[in-house]
Amino acid sequence: MQDQISNILRQKQHSCFPVAQGVMGMEIVFVNLYYVENPDKSWVLIDAGLYGSADRIRKAAEDKFGKGNPPKAILLTHGHFDHVGALQTLADIWQVPVYAHPLELPYLTGLSSYPPPDSSVGGGGMAYLSFMYPKKPITFRGRLETLPADGSVPFMPEWKWLETPGHSPGHVSFFREHDQVLIVGDAFVTRKPESALAVLTQKQEVCGPPAYFTPDWEAARASVQKLADLKPAIAASGHGLPMHGPDLRQGLNDLARLFDQLAIPSKGRYVPEPAVTNTSGVVQLPPNVSNTVPKVLATAGLVALAGLATYALTKKRKSRTNSRIRRTWPGYGGNAMHRSSYGSVSQDHASFSTDPENATNNYP
């Protein structure tokens, strides 16, 4: 009993929260990452929080798993800045491989920026402040590997990974079948994603992916349907606290059934047509939609929250090259013309990361 209490106290101290047997979450300002322990006591980290949070993530891991017991790997649901902020530091400290879907690699290797966010959709302070978030892709140096094509998850024998694109091109979710635990990333979230107020109040509800940076709504809809079909008992998302039981079941079914009304904005850059991407990154974008919301909104009270996040995120990242990537995925040809190797930046796509209108690694 005493052990349990001290465990809970330790979790609280690090903004950690229990999810399921062997699964613990940690919230960094407004985004979650997950520690997953195997029956043999080995463990992995899923996602890597905000820039500047490596110490917190590592300390919580040491409290839970002991010093000198690094994870076997870091796995990514996707590469948006709030999920990879501490990635380089942690991979350097722990000397572990990082796994992601092949369609996510361009945004982890500096090859391409993500499609730019559509801050005209979604409403709420978090969306309007999107222009403040980092604009360049990371260039990860280290062992970056692709998830196995057979759906198995490296170092997580009880789990499978699923393609859940839409919010990002190579977005994945992780599912443990025997107790139906789902680590969903941002394919759907359990807190209204565009609302700064919801960040503060932790109001739970099943919502579509953050609208301001979902560049393919057809794919996003299909991903939510796929996840609803799994009938998860527990869902832990990138934003918001875990949900379970009837609230989750009902909320997820409703979201899948009424996705167009509940999740897709009535208008916006990516509503009529998606951004086109391939293994080299962004290939084609729909025309920009002007955002009439004045940027002076940044002076509102919301800025306290966004400013906190932004401070942690916009510290200048050093430009790094020479990612060493071992490609293990046979199924993705992509547009090989644009890439001589995963570790190099083509001229075509380098342009995406220099124009602030078209280039951003934005977004929750």
CB of 324 to Zn ion, least distance (A): 25
Residues across the chain: 364
8 Å CB contact between 85 and 29: no
Tokens for 333, please give them: 């040809």
Q: 104 with 128: CB under 8 angstroms? A: no
Residues 6 or more apart from 115 whose CB is under 8 A from it? 213, 215, 270, 275, 277, 282, 285
169 binds Zn ion, rule: CB under 5 A:
no
What pairing do the DSSP bridges indicate for beta strands 43-46 and 74-75? parallel
- Per CB under 5 A, the segment of 18-26, 127-135, 178-186, 262-270 that binds Zn ion is 178-186
From 238, 265, 268, 274, residue interacting with Zn ion (rule: CB under 5 A): 238
| 186 touching Zn ion, by CB under 5 A | yes
The Cα–Cα gap between 133 and 130 comes to 6
State in angstroms the smallest separation of the CB of 82 from Zn ion. 5
d(CA 262, CA 265): 8
Shortest separation between residue 114's beta carbon and Zn ion, angstroms: 9
Q: In what order do the strands lie in the sheet with 181-185?
A: 159-163, 172-176, 181-185, 234-237, 243-244
- Minimum gap (Å) between residue 71 Cβ and Zn ion: 20
Q: Please, what sign has the CA dihedral across residues 49, 52, 54, 57?
A: negative
- Given the rule CB under 5 A, which of 40-48, 126-134, 180-188, 299-307 is the region that contacts Zn ion? 180-188
User: Rounded to whole angstroms, how far apart are CA atoms 357 and 350?
Assistant: 14
31 touches 83 (CB < 8 A): yes
Q: Please give the residues from 69 up to 98 whose contact with Zn ion meets the rule CB under 5 A.
A: 80, 82
- Cβ closest to Zn ion, residue 191 vs residue 339: 191
Instruction: Considering the complex, state which of residue 70 and residue 235 has its C-beta at the smaller distance from Zn ion.
Output: 235
Q: How far apart are CB 43 and Zn ion at their closest, in Å? A: 22
Tell me whether residue 72 or residue 203 sits nearer to Zn ion (CB atom).
203
163/186 with CB nearer Zn ion: 186
Q: Shortest distance, CB of residue 52 to Zn ion, whole angstroms?
A: 16
Asked if 110 is part of the footprint of Zn ion (rule: CB under 5 A), the reply reads: no
184 SS3 class: strand
Residue with Cβ nearer Zn ion (44 or 126): 126
Residues binding Zn ion: what is the number (CB under 5 A)? Answer: 5
In the bound state with Zn ion, the residue whose beta carbon lies nearer, of 118 and 339, is 118
Grouping H, G, I as helix, E, B as strand and the rest as coil, residue 26 is strand
208 near Zn ion (CB under 5 A)? no
- Which of these segments, 38-46, 67-75, 134-142, 181-189, binds Zn ion (CB under 5 A)? 181-189
Question: To the nearest whole angstrom, how small is the minimum distance from the Cβ of residue 104 to Zn ion?
Answer: 11
Residue 97 or 238 with smaller CB distance to Zn ion: 238
Backbone angles phi, psi at 158, to 5 degrees: -85, -5
364 binds Zn ion (CB under 5 A): yes
Under rule CB under 5 A, residue 193 binds Zn ion? no
For residue 48, what is the DSSP state?
Answer: -
Q: Considering the complex, what minimum distance in angstroms separates the CB of residue 210 from Zn ion?
A: 6
Alpha-helical runs (H) found in 230-339: 245-257, 259-262, 303-313
- Between 86 and 343, CB nearer to Zn ion: 86
Which of 137, 238 has the CB closer to Zn ion?
238
For 91-117, give the secondary structure using H, E and C: HHHHCCCEEECHHHHHHCECCCCECCC
Contact residues: Zn ion, CB under 5 A: 80, 82, 186, 238, 364
